[in-house]
A and B are shown apart, each in its own frame.
Chain A
Amino acid sequence: MPPEGPATARSLGGPADGPAYVQADRYELLVNGTRRTVEDAWLGESLLYVLRERLGLPGSKNACEQGECGSCSVLLDSVVVCACLVLGVDAIGSQVETVEGLSADGDVAEIQAGLVDAGGVQCGFCTPGFVVAVHDLLRRTPLADEMAVREALSGNLCRCTGYGRILEAVRRVQRSRAVSDDSDGSDGGTGDGE
């Protein structure tokens, strides 16, 4: 079954307005491990807008705002989603991890270096989304084969590279991890075959 959701969702929402409702204009979010206050917000603001325009985290990109490009990929309670399709208020009580926060993770840094070295970055607008999506893929399925990699990244559009150098970056990271796992004497990780 899916992972347990946050149990304390309502307590972070500030003072309750009536039995069920909280005001949507002031709330707290947990972003990259830090409690951040969103003030003077409007209900229709997406998590993407809140991150970019209210919390000073423009790393997640605004290419389509309709869930068709993956440029705004973030981890919401460890699941990769499009931040443009999450209402800011609906992220209350959840752990939000953006490309800015993930960059502190050594595994993510390896992916980032791989993308740069392999030539997987051109204009770079899709790049943060790819970093998040590749990280999500490789931690779940380290040994994903070519078609599995393609399917996992099919929600991230790139208009510049034709994907060739991005796939090459993923292959390089997979190879380098396989080698370092071998030297650790481990089995190299297992894919779940999806």
Chain B
Amino acid sequence: MTANSGTGIAERVTGARRGDRVGDSPARPDGAQKTRGEFAFSSDLWMDGMLWGKTLRSPHVAAKIRSVDTAPALAIPGVRAVVTAADVPGRPTFGLDVPDQPVFASEVIRYHGEPVAAVAADHPEAARAAAAAIFVDYEPLVPVVDPEIALEASPIHPDGNVFRHLVIRHGAPDATGDVVVEGDYEVGMQDQAFLGPESGLAVPAEDGGVDLYIATQWLHVDRDQIAASLGVPAERVRLYLAGVGGAFGGREDVSLQIHLCMLALRTGRPVKMVYARDESFFGHVHRHPARMWYRHHASRDGDLVKVEARIVIDGGAYLSSSNAVISNAACFAPGPYRVPNALVEGYAVRTNNPPCGAMRGFGAVQVCFGHEAQMDKLAAALFMDPVELRLRNALERNDRLVTGQVLRGAVPVREVIRAAASHPLPPPPDPAGPVTARPGGAGATAGPEDVRRGVGFAVSMKNIAYSEGFDDFVTARLRLEAGVDGEAVATVSVATAEVGQGFVTLAAQIVREELGVARVVLAPPSTVDVGSAGSSSASRQTWMSGGALQLACATLRAELVVRAAELWECAATQCLFDDGDVVRAATGERLSVPDLLAPAPLETEHEFHHRPTRALDADGQGDAHLSFMFAAHRAVVDVDPELGLVRVVQIATGQDVGKAINPVQVTGQIEGGVAQGIGLAVMEEIVVTEGHVRNPSFTDYLLPTVLDMPDVLATVIEEPEPGAPYGAKGVGEPPTISSGPAVLAAIRDATGFPVTRAPVRPEDIALTWMRRTS
């Protein structure tokens, strides 16, 4: 176990090998470049003669398109091309799961901001003027914006309004408990709000295809969607990963990729496109808003008897990954607790709201607000300590989920709860402290007497990697050769998208650990010379790409041993690989890796698949998931109930990581994930009224600043996960899942108010305060 605190990373006491291998914390290889502004992000790309692209988007939520006139745009000096739905050479639609989303709207507008056309011009200003000059004759329609109404409404898309309806039936349906608590909960629409806007550079190629430099989470699935819509073979669409300024799920779907490639092919010139911040809010999917109803049954002693839940998530106008999100939401609806009986109903619904899809936590986030509020309600009804109730019902190894899946891996739920609970609480609010340390911050709204403190607790679980039978794999190639100076060089080719999570650091650590080779080079990820690595999402790349790399290293290690055995004319079984050398057991003779590489380089390629999973059956039963991560969060907040303002004072957490391959990076993932959880709890929401996005800017979509982020006290639980490389689970998502629900619990504790909606708005608290005091 490694204990970290808000003031730094604690050194490991035993077994530490300082350096840059697995379990160490070497610095990111791209870090220095990034600090100097030399790292090329996708928006930094530049090419001689390049044009600028710009998208025209619908100002309407729902409308018929009567006609589109591009002539006024083409008449503007410097404008080189305008493309619309009529110009899509291949498949007119795209989509991660099912291609139900038009590249450009042709007849129908289904959400505010849907693309209608794109232009390319010499200067961004000409492109902007041209987009504004395109005349679109819309006939506005009445939008369907309430998912409950959409369930019954006439279809707004040929595929219908219900993406997926899922029922999980587990145990005895009519079981009842001595104590029953019920509640309705709601989660608003969160944005990934990565800082690097969507951007890329498309360059037409001589073979009629296109080279695209792009910030994405998954190169190969982008390529396949682009190629289908361009109507060209996939091998003529070559994607190269440009620097990615954060992702968090928001780059899993296609945004400007197809538009850019169409413009490049149409003009025969390189075309660059960079979304401004307002457009970014329209250009990618968001976290699904959710409405949830829960009823929990428990025995008098506090054992959960049954969980009933109905979960409706608003998928917006197009499918994206809604089917997988509702599956997660339903599977994890009870939380990380032993629940013998359950009836969970999940709906993912199509509406005229902005499309929703992947965001960090993927379905587990929304339901955690529900199940953890219910656990607190239950604890209150039972007169039990909320932490005690959670410990009592915590899942353990060999327990069953409500999907019937038996937990065969590491299930340290009690450990994460105890770790979070055992961190020291912060000192009470300091009446003499700076006003910026109180709710309201620099606005100086709160005096010491206006502040009430609260403490809340929440626990969560989530799956790692893809589920329900998806063939999840990574292709990795590893080449070992002697460099010009005689030192061994390992070159890793894998299409894994580095989006900030630190895979580039881990990859080198793994190769050093396995082969003792200090110099590790990562080839630029692309679709050109290696197969798919899947998406950098679902907390899966450490396991999947790390696993592929570990396997490749093992193969080359065996080949090095064989080479040594041949030189020594002994059996390979007589030789051992030892920290960069092959040792002959009998004599102690050693051959170094560079020595062994002198005759010829070695190379291997592996496709790593995880254990197959299965789709859920009609009763929502099945081994749908590979593995699970658990986390617990304790939040301490100061609330000014009269104004409804909140300051989060401290987050303490215990997180199940399997193995911390890079403890500093793990800490960074925990702190960063917590910030997004806090954001969802107290400030982040895309405000959508009647389908219109009201706050597409960083002025009004608020991200936590450094004055909003508390110290995070983190303990990582290292219980190795069977089958995972080094026993390491993912770490990215859990911090975002239960940190927010813990904050809401703490606000309820401070105020005694039933806070049931995330984000909690000042008026939600203050107007309750008014009603109660008047």
Contact = CB atoms under 8 A, between A and B. Distances in A.
The answer to whether any beta carbons of A and B sit under 8 Å apart in the complex is yes
Interface of A: 42, 44, 49, 52-53, 56-66, 68-69, 71, 98-100, 103, 111-113, 115-119, 121-128, 131, 147, 150-151, 153-168, 171
Q: Identify which of B46, B195, B243 gathers the most chain A CB atoms within 10 Å of its CB.
A: B195
B31 A147 contact: no
Contacts of B27: 116-117, 119
A125 B41 contact: yes
A167 B706 contact: yes
B361 to A, nearest CB: 15
Nearest to B277: A64
Interface in B658-705: 664-665, 667-668, 670-676, 697-699, 703-705
B699 A66 contact: yes
Contacts of B28: 116, 121
Contacts of B197: 62-63
A124 B125 contact: no
B291 to A, nearest CB: 27
Given A58-B44, A125-B195, A160-B672, A119 B36 contact: no
Given A116-B28, A119-B665, A163-B709, A61 B125 contact: no
Contacts of A131: 35-37
Given A159-B248, A162-B704, 8 more contacts: A61-B195, A116-B28, A116-B34, A131-B37, A158-B706, A159-B703, A162-B673, A165-B668
A154 B436 CA distance: 11
Contacts of B675: 159, 161-163
Interface stretch (B256-264, B337-345, B498-506): B498-506
Interface in B23-39: 25, 27-28, 30-32, 34-39
26 contacts: A62-B197, A63-B277, A64-B277, A64-B697, A71-B195, A99-B37, A112-B32, A112-B36, A116-B27, A119-B9, A122-B668, A123-B195, A124-B34, A125-B194, A147-B437, A157-B705, A159-B246, A159-B248, A159-B676, A160-B500, A161-B671, A162-B672, A164-B6, A164-B712, A166-B706, A171-B7
Interface string B272-294: 00101100000000000000000
B668 A150 contact: no
Given A157-B703, A162-B673, A168-B8, A66 B697 contact: yes
Nearest to B735: A162
B245 A63 contact: yes
Contacts of A59: 36-38
B246 A125 contact: yes
Given A58-B44, A125-B195, A157-B705, A164 B34 contact: no
Closest 7 CB pairs of A and B: A59-B37, A123-B500, A124-B34, A125-B245, A162-B671, A116-B31, A162-B675
A160 B244 CA distance: 12
A168 to B, nearest CB: 6
Contacts of A68: 697-699
Contacts, number: 195
Nearest to B272: A53
Nearest to A41: B123
Contacts of A164: 6, 667-668, 671, 709, 711-712
Q: Tell me the dominant secondary structure on chain B's binding face.
A: loop
Contact of A151 (B40, B442, B665, B699): B442
Nearest to A130: B35
B627 interface: no
B15 interface: no
Interface residues of B, number: 68
B193 interface: yes
B355 interface: no
B698 A151 contact: no
A123 B707 contact: no
Nearest to A57: B37
A159 B704 CA distance: 8
A123 B499 contact: yes
A47 B417 CA distance: 50
B196 A61 contact: yes
A64 B274 contact: no
A99 B39 CA distance: 12
Contacts of B428: none
B245 A123 contact: yes
A149 to B, nearest CB: 8
Contacts of B247: 123
A103 B672 contact: no
Contacts of B40: 58
B695 to A, nearest CB: 12
B434 interface: yes
B527 interface: no
Nearest to A122: B500
A165 B667 contact: yes
B526 interface: no
B674 A42 contact: no
B35 A116 contact: yes
B507 to A, nearest CB: 16
B496 interface: no
A188 to B, nearest CB: 20
A116 B39 CA distance: 13
A16 to B, nearest CB: 25
Nearest to B433: A147
Contact of A161 (B124, B244, B668): B668
Contacts of B124: 49
B43 interface: yes
A164 to B, nearest CB: 4
Nearest to A171: B7
Nearest to A131: B35
B671 A124 contact: no
Contacts of A125: 41, 194-196, 245-246
A154 B703 CA distance: 11
Nearest to B711: A164
Nearest to A43: B125
B742 to A, nearest CB: 15
Contacts of A44: 125
Contacts of B277: 63-66
Contacts of B670: 162
Contacts of A61: 37, 41, 43, 195-196, 245
B276 A128 contact: no
Contacts of B436: 147, 150-151
Nearest to B125: A42
B43 A123 contact: no
B44 A52 contact: yes
Contact of A119 (B244, B442, B667): B667
Contact of A127 (B25, B35, B697): B35
Nearest to A128: B37
Interface in B153-210: 193-197
B672 to A, nearest CB: 4
Contacts of A56: 46
Contacts of B243: 124
Contacts of B9: 119
Interface string B306-330: 0000000000000000000000000
In this complex, which of B25, B248, B277, B665 has the most chain A Cβ atoms within 10 angstroms of its Cβ?
B277
A108 to B, nearest CB: 9
Nearest to A147: B434
Interface string B643-671: 00000000000000000000011011011
Considering residues A58, A60, A117, which has the most beta carbons from chain B within 10 angstroms of its beta carbon? A58
A157 B46 contact: no
A42 B41 contact: no
A112 to B, nearest CB: 4
B31 A115 contact: yes
B155 to A, nearest CB: 37
A126 B195 contact: yes
A58 B36 CA distance: 10
Contacts of B43: 58, 61-62
Contacts of A111: 35
A56 B703 CA distance: 30
A68 B700 CA distance: 10
B627 to A, nearest CB: 24
